[in-house]
Amino acid sequence: MRVIIVGGVAGGATAAARLRRLDENAEIVVFERSGYVSYANCGLPYYVGGVIEQKEALTLQTPESFWSRFRVDVRVRHEVTAIDTANRTVTVRDLANDIEFTETYDKLLLSPGAKPVIPPVPGVDGPRVFTLRTVEDTFRIHDFVERTRPRRAVVVGGGYIGLEMAENLVERGIAVTVLQRPKQLMNTLDYDMAALVHAEVRAHGVDLRLEADVVGFEDSGNGVRVLLAGGAVVDADLAILAVGVQPDNALAKAAGVALGMKGAIAVNDRMETSAPDVYAVGDAVSVRHSVSGEEAVISLAGPANKQGRIAADNVCGGDSRYRGSQGSSIIKVFDLTVAGTGLTVRAAQAAGIDCDRVVLSPGSHAGYYPGAETMTMKVVFEKGTLRLLGAQIVGYSGADKRLDVLATAISAGVRADRLKDLDLAYAPPYSSAKDPVNMAGFMIENLATGKVKQLHWDELETFPRDGSVTLLDVRTPMEYALGRLPGFVNLPVDELREHLDALDPAKPVYALCQSALRSYIACRILSQHGFDCYNISGGYRFVSAVRDEQRLSRSSLPCGADGK
């Protein structure tokens, strides 16, 4: 059996190694357009920033090491330019020698990956405008930074690559402006959770401009001018485009292979395309989202690796199935850890799912043990069924652990209220006796059983301000003095029982504290005394952070962005 693989990195390289482990006699050829067959995509920004010091550390396998261990024929700087599925051939160009030739296959696996989205604006191909996809791209940026010692940089785009590049450039002492066309960074988060990331980015000196529409670039001789809609200009020494990626579908499309959403290659759960004996994996394919059940394009290394393994199994006569992508991801943003899995509230609503969420601010470990840090967790679930839909965490130590527990729970079909029953490891340096994941389960159970009702930050604007409701801040007087929401009166929870007669039982009560824990206790007290009480989700800490971000974003809109 002769197997040709188009593209290396996560999907193609994984498939090649798995194929050899399954079939010692197969002839396996990998054609890779770049000069590197297996490299650490996710580590590329950290080489620019100097965190990864040796360029060799980015290379996971070389053509020589692949041959030595797996007897896989890897040919770098070879671009497959055409596929003939009827005759089972591929046309290949040797880029180093400018020679074109044809190769036959019994099985073909496509792993072309994704390519950067290049906005069609003037000057985008200028000498100081860079994209980051391959190792070669990284070397170009790194060499430019080393050679010219830039003082100012613009990063266009606020996804994973954009934020990692911004952080690494800041760490090199470069003043960074991040231009993001949507109103928030990271579309894998809901706006309220992204607001916490915005604050972190700004705290490290980044000039963050949201709803900033780049319309062109101009070479200014010793720099680049980034032109924004409305007439604003940002001057810099270099610009990096990180506005997103799109499936690299040119080969498949030209060969008549069926495409799915966003032009991605359509595959079934065996990673088979519409063409016989042609498989596809990685960032170029569309898959089923394992939570929503809808078609999705999810560009992450984990799914690509799994898909490569599954495709190799099936090439060798097996029957492995891909269960779908959940979209679990994590990123370091300066001192923060930002992680998510499954569906956001926004994505769940777009999928027509009636959902709710809980927001909590637990410590990373027992509060009495030194070094505990606060994280913000948001857990999304379906009303009625309590099906666990997704989670987002913004925090520090321990955030990754909780995200992985929640991702596992979603994958295993654990009901949201059953999070309270998970038997998780506890010792003071690592957790609390009631782990944050357990706490989310307790909160969801309380909602489901009617022990508490809640109101979210985005609903606060709609409740009446005519005196028909009681707005109650149950924090201490000192906390209240340091910051409060308009209209809320202070009555500490520990004094609540003694002042029930001061409250009108005919009026609904909206209770607020720092993190929604004491206000939950207040609601339990009040509800048992006949009051209709609502706990404000996330508490003052969360609500004020989102509101501060809203005010800051409105005040920093670029010219023309607000329609003026």
Could you give the angle at which helices 160-171 and 191-203 cross, rounded to 10 degrees? Answer: 20
**What does the alpha-carbon distance between residue 90 and residue 17 come to, in Å, rounded to a whole number?**
21
Among 206, 210, 112, CA closest to 164: 206
533 a catalytic residue: no
Q: Residue 293 forms beta bridges with which residues?
A: none
Return the SS3 of 120.
Answer: coil
For residue 432, CA distances in Å to 368, 369, 398, 546 come to 10, 10, 11, 27
**What does the alpha-carbon distance between residue 365 and residue 518 come to, in Å, rounded to a whole number?**
19
The encoded tokens of residue 504 equal 């009108």
Across 151-199, the runs of DSSP E, i.e. the strands, are 152-156, 175-180
Amino acid, single-letter form, for residue 351: A
Contact 138, 51 (CB under 8 A): no
Q: Which residues contact 211 (CB under 8 A, 6 or more apart)?
A: 180, 181, 182, 183, 553, 557, 558, 561
Q: Residue 115 forms beta bridges with which residues?
A: 246
The encoded tokens of residue 197 equal 């990331």
The encoded tokens of residue 285 equal 């394919």
Q: Which position among 42, 355, 523, 533 bears the catalytic label? A: 42
DSSP 8-state secondary structure symbol assigned to residue 284: G
Amino acid, single-letter form, for residue 292: S
Is the backbone of residue 449 left (phi > 0), alpha (psi -120 to 50) or beta?
alpha
Q: Give rounded-to-5 percent helix, strand, coil for the chain.
A: 35, 25, 40
Q: Which residues are catalytic?
A: 42
